[in-house]
Amino acid sequence: MESFQLVRVKVSWTALLALAHFTYLLVGATVFQILEREAESNNRNHFQLEKLNFLANYTCLDGPALENFVKVILYTWENGVNPSGNSTNPSNWDFSSSFFFAGTVVTTIGYGNLSPSTVSGQVFCMFYALFGIPLNLAFLKQIGKCLSIRLSRLERRVVAVVPLKIPRTVEAMVVSLFFISGSLLFLVIPPLLFSYVEDWTFGEGFYFAFITLSTIGFGDYVVGTDPAKEYISLYRSLAGVWIIFALAWLALILNMGAQMMKNVVTLMRPGFTKQEEEEEMESSGKLEDTSNI
């Protein structure tokens, strides 16, 4: 009688992350399609109906003339000019707006509502991003180190005030305090201010904050772009400063989340840590062999 032996499959942390990543993308694509496709169809039908009604009310216009006018509006919008209002709309390239745009370039947010339209501006933007993105990453990394040092000091102070025998409990308390205070400072108070200034709901302000700080930057909500409002001169500059420091905080939070996820997997499968160390040693050995050739 044949004996069957279970074979333990060796799965690397990289392969597991790749599987989870692409599964997450597939699930997201399916959900977004279900939620948004019908709304897109309704908006398209509504727009076509409005065009037909417009042509029916203004018989002096024909279809091609209206289509050309729509193209002009789209071209104007794509070049960063709001077609609503009049020529007295505030400039998108005053110093405050330019500072805000420079911040969106080096942080790779790229809202898409504004971009250089001149050849010289496009060339400068490429070189500016080429050197600015690494500089921004280095700055955010340094800010993250400073925050980590503050966390360690806070943890020692908590231990000194409330001596606990379980280090994990102290660490959880400090991380929770850091997360709550940072959330209030970067994800609760700014959306309240944006909602007040831009006449958004708090949900819209929070959505803008999260989409911005996650560097997704759809461009559907951008501060300081309403031509009917008069903003203070430093409004967009202050928003740019908020983005920089909030990104550093969020990056540290995401790193903590990734580490917690890895710790959970390690507890479930202790072999992952040893396997990852072996892979790192193997890869470093290959690099040394390559350098010796």
218-229 pLDDT tens trace? 988 999 888 778
Is 163 in the same domain as 201?
yes
Give the pLDDT band (50/70/90) at residue 283. low
CB 200 within 8 A of CB 237: no
**What integer pLDDT is reported at residue 209 of this predicted model?**
93
- Is the model's pLDDT at 292 over the cut of 60? no
Residues 117 and 166 in one domain: yes
24: in domain: yes
* Residue 47 lies in domain: 20-81
Let me know if residue 6 belongs to a domain: no
Cα distance between residue 69 and residue 149, in whole Å = 58
d(CA 108, CA 135): 12
Q: Which two tokens stand for residue 251?
A: 């990056």
Check residue 270 and give its pLDDT: 62
Are 69 and 119 within one domain?
no
Instruction: Let me know whether 213 and 118 are in one domain.
Output: yes
Alpha helices in 184-234, H assignment, sequence order: 189-198, 202-213
Percent of the chain beyond pLDDT 70?
74
CA atoms within 13 A on the CB side of 275: 15
pTM: 0.71
Total structural domains within the chain: 2
Residue 282: which pLDDT band, with cuts at 50, 70 and 90? Answer: low
Residue 4, pLDDT score: 47
What is the spatial distance between Cα 160 and Cα 155, in angstroms, rounded to a whole number?
A: 9
pLDDT in tens, 179-205: 888 889 999 999 999 999 999 999 999
Average pLDDT over residues 257-282: 64
Pair (59, 98) in one structural domain: no
